[in-house]
Amino acid sequence: MHIPDNYLSPATCAVMGAVMVPVWAVAVRKVRTEVSNARVPLLGIGAAFSFLLMMFNVPLPGGTTGHAVGGTLLAVLLGPWSACISISIALLVQALMFGDGGILAFGANCFNMAFVIPFLGYVLFSVIRDVSKGRRAEYAGLAAGSYISISVAALCAAIELGVQPLLFRGPSGLPLYFPWPISVSIPAMVLPHLAVAGVAEAIFTVAIFTFIKRVSPGTISAAPKPRFRGVYALLVALVCLSPLGLLASGTAWGEWGIGEIGKMVGYVPEGMRRGFSFRALFPDYAVTGMSGVIGYVISAITGAAVLVITFKLIGLARRENRRKALT
């Protein structure tokens, strides 16, 4: 679910970042005031834990494996605000160190995984647990919360990606960023999450919660008491409303009117309807300048750099071989 850079337009990234900034600001304030200083190291170590959770392969029925995010679990164990900070930090480390997820798309990725998952999962968990009390309700709440929240997060990612070809296109009508419309992106993203990743998330969340509850019940009771408050309703509303914000921002930029949004789901790319076509390679992008002196200079620099890099890598491979031969 980690969206790389250039899949989303900078405008979308800006909107998603703008949504996250107040969330982070509130989260930092909440953690500072409501929670004692002792929690600060826990946030960092929680982030490391959440990073590692994403690395585990969860066994699924049928012998296959899947990955989990563990957002709902962290929200239940640490509280949703702390979970939000911890997962954001884990995502930042992934983006910076491993190139998993883009830098500009950081806001969007945080929105999907550090905001939607912990808050939605937490709200569902606490509502189900409060409605029908008892142990079973607790586990049902956890399973439902984790399964639904990760699927909704995938849906958010699919919408963010899917609106790109609607909103951001060049003069010749070709998409400038992610090319697939919502009618493709939603099934492509959401179905695997409903079928595999959601199951992995639910199994994993319930199993770890059970283990911790059995081994160290104090940890669970020390976790912040789930309370369903207005603020969470507001957050859920925000989750639902932000795709609309996306559309609004896009129409302000691009050449699409409100009327076009209605066509969103049934959208078929122009070229797709017409079938395969040999268009000019770069109809939307100015490449004419490439023939001039500047184009020559750029090609020369690129060519020289690629040659140097290739020779260095060959040299490295040779050194490795020699080292192996010696030992």
Partner 1 sequence: MLPQWLLRDEQYFPERDRDIFIDRSIRTLLTLLSRLRQREGGSEEKVRVNPGVRLGSTLLLILLLSLSRDFLFVAYAGALLLAILSVYRAELILRVLKTSLPIATFTLFVMLPSALWGNTSGLIMITLKVFFSVVAVKMFVSTAEWGSILGGLRIFMPRLFILVLDVTTRYLVLLGELSVSLLVALKLRSVGRNSRKQSSLAGVTGTLFLRSRQMAEEMYAAMECRCFTGSYPRGSTAKISAVDLVPLGVGALTVAVFAWTGMR
Partner 2 sequence: MIVLRDVSYSYDGIPALSRISLSVARGESVAFIGPNGSGKSTLLKMISGIIHPDDGSYILDGEEITRSRLSDALFARRVHQRIGLLFQNPDTQLFCPAVWEEIAFGPRQMGLDRDSVDARVLDCLRLLGIEHLARRAPHNLSEGEKRRVALASVLALNPDVLALDEPMNGLDPRTKRFMRDVILSLINAGKTILCATHDFPYVEGVFTRAVVISGEHCVVRDDSYAAVIGGTAFLASLNIV
Contact positions vs partner 2 (CB under 8 A): 211, 214-216, 327
Pick between residue 32 and residue 263 the one whose CB is nearest to partner 1: 32
- Candidate segments 136-144, 200-208, 231-239, 257-265, binder of partner 1 by CB under 8 A: 200-208
Q: Is 296 exposed, middle or buried (0-12, 13-18, 19+ CB in 10 A)?
A: exposed
Using CB distances below 5 to 8 A depending on partner kind, what does residue 327 bind out of partner 1, partner 2, none?
partner 2
176 near partner 1, rule: CB under 8 A: yes
Residues 30-69: x/- map of binding to partner 1 (CB under 8 A)?
-xx----xx-xxxxxxxxxx-xxx-xxxxx---x-x----
- In terms of CB distance, is 281 or 325 closer to partner 2? 325
212 touches partner 1 by CB under 8 A: yes
- Nearest distance from C-beta of residue 316 to partner 2, angstroms: 12
The answer to whether 72 and 201 have CB atoms below 8 angstroms apart is yes
24 binds partner 1 (CB under 8 A): yes
Please pick, from the candidates 35, 180, 220, 236, the single residue that binds partner 1 as defined by CB under 8 A.
Answer: 180
Pick out residues in 260-319 that bind partner 1 (CB under 8 A): 269-272, 274-279, 281-287, 289-290, 294-295, 298-299, 301-302, 304-306, 308-309, 312-313, 315-316
**Angstrom distance (rounded) from CA 183 to CA 160:** 12
C-alpha–C-alpha distance, residues 63 and 298, integer Å: 51
User: Would you give the binding string for partner 1 spanning residues 100-139, x where CB under 8 A is met?
Assistant: --xxx-----------------------------------
89 touching partner 1, by CB under 8 A: yes
CB nearer partner 1, residue 136 or residue 319: 319
Quote the CA–CA distance of 14 and 108 in Å, as a whole number.
9
Q: Which residues contact 166 (CB under 8 A, 6 or more apart)?
A: 181, 182, 250, 256, 260, 261, 264, 267
Binding status of residue 194 toward partner 1 by CB under 8 A: no
Structure token pair of residue 272: 């797709």
CA trace torsion 253, 255, 258, 259 (10° rounding): -170
Residue 327 token pair: 């030992």
- The dihedrals phi and psi of 121, each to the nearest 5 degrees, come to -60, -40
Query: CA-based angle 225:214:207, to the nearest 5?
Result: 85
